[in-house]
Amino acid sequence: MFTIGEFSKITGLTIKALRLYHEKGIIEPHAVDQQTGYRYYNHQDAEKARVIRLLKDMMLGLEDIADILKDCSDDADAVGILERHRNRLEDRINDLRKAKGYVDSILNSEREAIAMTKDNSSEIVEKHVPDIRIASIRWKGRYGDTGKYFGRLAKSLARHLAGRPFNMYYDEGFKEEDADIESCFPVREGREIKAPEGVSIRSLSGGKVVSIMHKGPYEQLGRSYERITSHLKEKNYKVVAPPREVYIKGPGFIFKGNPKNYLTEIQFPVSE
């Protein structure tokens, strides 16, 4: 016979828990002193405690545990309860995974934004960009709808994203309405990705680009475009592919943020 303290040490269950289990009829101590109310446990109780610990390792609730202890004397008897429990566990895992997916996509996005914010002078530079693999949606409409398409890409491809989103502009000049735009997200190499409806997965050639970092709201992008196009003319460069606008830092998933802090890189692919 053990006092509750001794029994607690033997079984690894806390005293508080043991008292609760008594109250709920899950482990009734073998004897209770009428005078003092002291609980006394024996070896049979210890066996029950072992089972409870096992079942708690499976994260079963006390109600299920009580049912199992009451109705089962063989593992096979518990299959029904365990099957239900297994499904609930699976559901909870899936919910958590989904939540973690959201959080991860924000964190990745922010981490990349920070890394790419390092070199943010506003000077015009010439550089080489590598080939990348992208997931993209090509659409027609107004510039301001861009966020919708990035949202769609991010939601359906969260796990695969690997870089900052960008737009490619297929029109010759600037178009207010009905612009021909491809919204792109870089995705990881290697893995097989099944493209959602309306999304194309393909690889995009790199090469020489003339680029400028634009700081501030999108309404002021025009200024940077002017600067870069006059540079192109000056140097007599030939533009060989649609210009890209890479959104280093823009509206976030959660907050819009302050447009003054937006960072956008404009790239014009030119011949070597």
Partner DNA sequence: TTGCTCCTCACGTCACGTGAGGTGGC
Q: By CB under 7 A, is residue 10 in contact with DNA?
A: no
Q: Give the end-to-end CA distance of the chain in Å, rounded to a whole number.
A: 88
Please name the residues in contact with 193: beta carbons below 8 A apart, sequence gap of 6 or more.
135, 157, 160, 187, 201
Residues that bind DNA (rule: CB under 7 A) add up to a total of: 20
Closest CB to DNA among residues 70, 238: 70
Among 10, 15, 46, 51, binds a second copy (CB under 8 A): 51
Q: Closest approach of Cβ 215 to a second copy, in Å?
A: 15
62 binds a second copy (CB under 8 A): no
Identify residues 57-116 at the interface with DNA (CB under 7 A): 61-63
| Least distance between a second copy and beta carbon 101 (Å) | 9
Nearest distance from residue 232's CB to a second copy, in Å?
33
Q: In the set 35, 121, 236, 258, which binds DNA (CB under 7 A)? A: 35
Contact residue for a second copy among 23, 57, 177, 219 (CB under 8 A):
57
> Looking at 1, 16, 80, 91, which residue binds DNA (CB under 7 A)?
16
* Interface with a second copy, residue 59, by CB under 8 A: yes
| 63-102 binders of a second copy (CB under 8 A) | 68, 72-79, 82-83, 85-86, 89-90, 92-93, 95-100, 102
Would you tell me which residues interact with DNA (CB under 7 A)?
Answer: 3-6, 8, 14-17, 19-20, 35-39, 56, 61-63
